[in-house]
Amino acid sequence: MRKRTSHTAARLPGFTLTIGFTIAYLSAVVLLPLSMLFMRAAGLGPAGFWEVVTTPRVVAAYKLSFGAAFAAAGINTIFGAVIAWCLVRYSFPGRRIVDAMVDLPFALPTAVSG
């Protein structure tokens, strides 16, 4: 019987290259726009930056974005609690389909589902 002296993790061929390319690409897609945003904001100075972020049009955009987010979160909380209650407490035809549809957003990325 052979005795193992050390445990080596099995490596997938090309894993290092693939993960390196993925991290580089995502860094470029995320970090380049963010760095330009920070550079332009830094060029304005504190007073100019505050003037831009407090204009009526920007404040209206803040209100719309946060209002829609809070409304969606509230509606999702109410309907999610009702659906969860029904799935746990009752047995009905189509229960497994409803349960699968609830789990679908966790298993399928938003970009794939449309």
Which of 14-18, 28-32, 62-66, 86-90 has the weakest average pLDDT?
A: 14-18
Write down the H helix ranges in 1-114.
15-53, 56-89, 95-107, 110-113
Question: If 0-12 CB within 10 Å is exposed, 13-18 middle and 19+ buried, where does residue 99 land?
Answer: middle
Do residues 23 and 15 touch, judged by C-beta distance below 8 A? no
What's the whole-number mean pLDDT along residues 71-75? 97
pTM over 0.75: no
Q: Hunting for tokens 């904001």 — which residue is that?
A: 41
How confident is residue 25, by pLDDT bands cut at 50, 70 and 90? very high
Give Cα 60 distance to the centre of its chain. Answer: 24
How confident is residue 63, by pLDDT bands cut at 50, 70 and 90? very high
